[in-house]
Structure 1
């Protein structure tokens, strides 16, 4: 273990709020070990005890501090313990106590990355010269990597805490008691029956993959909700119900052990951001015996999971209801994917970057400037040594998986011109735009149809929300957004519990939004246009409808069929709906109907 890792952990502890009790506790633990080096009871810490769960676990860096000194989990996972002291480890503990007591961790920002006590000291990549003329560049690189190194260790601490809890039988039982297991298996079976392709896999494997698809869809659309607000985690369980304006107070899944009197609160709140989504979803998947990793884009701000399905590790993002779309972040969200790490109890840490970035030449050059690869290799090897044996996740399977992954990583996927990646969907438009994860302009089509028969008395354009399909002249086009100019503030919502669907403002948003349908009329005399549009409002929500032809605009009542007489031929008309929801996004809805309803909730009838 290197002193540099100790310094990084201490820096994280001292940057954490309410850290004094943790610092005092760590100092006491080390002093007890140094004072009683022959007594084993001072060299171990009970994982389920209050000192571990209430004092150390909530403070960033505290566990990494202990790990960096040589603490490791016992075989049964009940204790965190350190071996009997050697002269070298004793010196390390003395230095750690000194660093804990000082205000600054020995000028850690300028501390060298090499560790004289390490047999595998990290080396500066050859792309960076070590000549005197480049000393400033080298110093900047060291400082930058030190920050990345610290971030990696913090993420590892969080991830390993999550994946350990996924393996807890009590957690798995609580998860299974909370979710509709029977109904989900029934949906998965129905999905499998709809797909008659065996694809070389036995029925059991296909059923489990169908269950993965079902769980991912259910989790996003029915179980969990997104919040843009900050997450407040209180050390006092009595403050669980406290809220602040614009903020959300709750505990995430990783806090199970913080507050034993109020466990599993994330299954009550069912809200969070990507970290909570991945953490909760991973716990659910492990309760169904899926092999799961928690995956981080280290240099960006996103978390998802990887799941072993149909014989290989597959990207799954519960926030986006996305399965096996690893390049969506690089090519859809336009995010850098220079360092992605995956964690599991059975495997430890894995560098899976190459799955998420197919531009390998560019990636190699970027990593030369960001990562000391020898340190990364040492980091991964160290946490492989701490991994645990998990039933049905044996070493032979892991080795076969690593070979499969190596082949995959060496053969990057090519992006064809026909392959499109969507923008991010979770979070409000303002939040996603501020992160650069949505398109700046959302363009729909102006409807212009020329295949109208001369003898036809009318032409009908209609939309069914349940099927999410437009129909006209015997043809059909999928997706409401094809002809709806909406500025990115609307989405189609399916309520699986109520079996209803509708268009509404983005979840967790309030205010106003507008959608417009534009029609380019054929060069043919039109006697009238009849419009039928269904909307639903609740409490103080409103939907205002406006019909425009040229410079003439008229408000109309959506509960009655609106007739506009004799519009000008070869002109453009538009039908606008303005949604107003000052308090809650669901208070103004368009085209609400049952999922099994075949009628049209929006219809424009052109009479000739």
Structure 2
């Protein structure tokens, strides 16, 4: 079994949060292995400290539960009796390896062991604390978009996008540009396709709103903002931040 998406998402967290996440998940999985029929570990309330405080706020926590086999109830997650138990050992081994990575031994004559090399992408050579915060946010955003590299997600996206229409529009605009700007640095059809895709997303696919209409009373009344709330498990999966609640 190859490394799962949830394991990759776990690594997006800070080292401190990653360690706490791994310890929490290892404890849960070990309890499931030792007590496979105990409802205490097979049914997890959404508002419990485990879910609300230790898993939901961080990348990969809830996703890993679903990959183990947990399913969603009304206000809880539950593990069916027929869940694939072999996954428990797979995730247990991988979580332990994340928590305690094995050192990599150098090949020089002194046989000096060095710890696993950590990517320096997030450092960006910035010393200033304000710049470091920005760099960390930038790196986090970079890591976040990688979840859309999932093949199934790509297929779902493509099924919603009018590819042929956008290509035709891009080709027409490219031809017009090429005829009128022969002495300038040439663009390619792909450049115009990106602009068409952006325009489609902003003007056709996505709807901008300030206050949503009430869907229950079927009136023209606008709902009022009440508060910001924590994301639910589905919103947390896609790394939602503040969720606005209207009523």
Normalization by structure 1: what TM-score? 0.19
The structure having more radius of gyration, on CA atoms, is 1
Q: Choose between structure 1 and 2: higher helix proportion.
A: 2
Normalization by structure 2: what TM-score? 0.44
Which structure is richer in relative contact order (CA contacts within 8 A, separation 6 or more)? 2
